[in-house]
Amino acid sequence: MFSSLTGLEITYFIVALLISMIVHEVMHGVVAKALGDTTAADMGRLTLNPLKHIDVMTTIILPVALVLIHMPPIMAAKPVPFNPNRVRFGDYGAAMVGLAGPLSNFAMAIIGSIIAHIAINGNMQLINFLGLFIQINVILMVFNLIPFPPLDGSRVLYAVAPEPVRRVMERIEAMGFISILLFILIVFELFSNQVIGIENAVLRFVINL
């Protein structure tokens, strides 16, 4: 989708992606704090300062490595920490924290679409930026809702999954960065067409608001 970006559009892409990822992560922490867990706040992560959210491995090395092997440059900000044992409502509270990120991306996509409609006959550079901004937020929302650890959708699955499934998910999540590679190289490849189809459907919905 972004393979043809050139010149100024690359700058737009980077700025839009940083804004989208940072707000996504901050909202995890905001909801966690509202539910009683101050871990993110105590670690100074409830900030829009990009330096607090950049992870060398997942924000820089991972996308570069994927480009080198001719795969989509998937990247992620440093996850905002939270303690699921400290939030109210147990697993359901943790699910609310998990959903906060993707829902913030959905909200930003809608806001971007509204602004784009207002400015449709105005500054074309703004329209181009908003187009990328909307696409990025839709992609981040759908991708993060996939119920595979450590993606946000797994928090929702934890809340309703039977114990045997939870144990498998915990083992996958304990693998850390390896689980992300496993997902990108194997799981995502199996369901990429379905994910792209959902992304396109959500994008059409947002644009046509």
Q: What is the pLDDT of residues 140-155, one digit of tens each?
A: 999 899 998 888 999 9
pLDDT in tens, 79-126: 888 898 899 999 999 999 999 999 999 999 999 999 998 877 777 888
End-to-end CA distance of the chain: 22
* Whole-number Å distance between alpha carbons of 141 and 199: 9
* Domain residue ranges in the chain: 8-207
Can you tell me the mean pLDDT for 10-14?
81
Assess contact for 27 and 47: CB atoms under 8 A: no
Q: What pTM was computed for the model?
A: 0.87
Question: Active site residue: 9, 25, 170, 199, which one?
Answer: 25
Is 25 designated active site?
A: yes
Q: What single string gives the DSSP state of each residue in 75-118?
A: --PPPPP--TTTSTTHHHHHHHHHHHHHHHHHHHHHHHHHHHHH
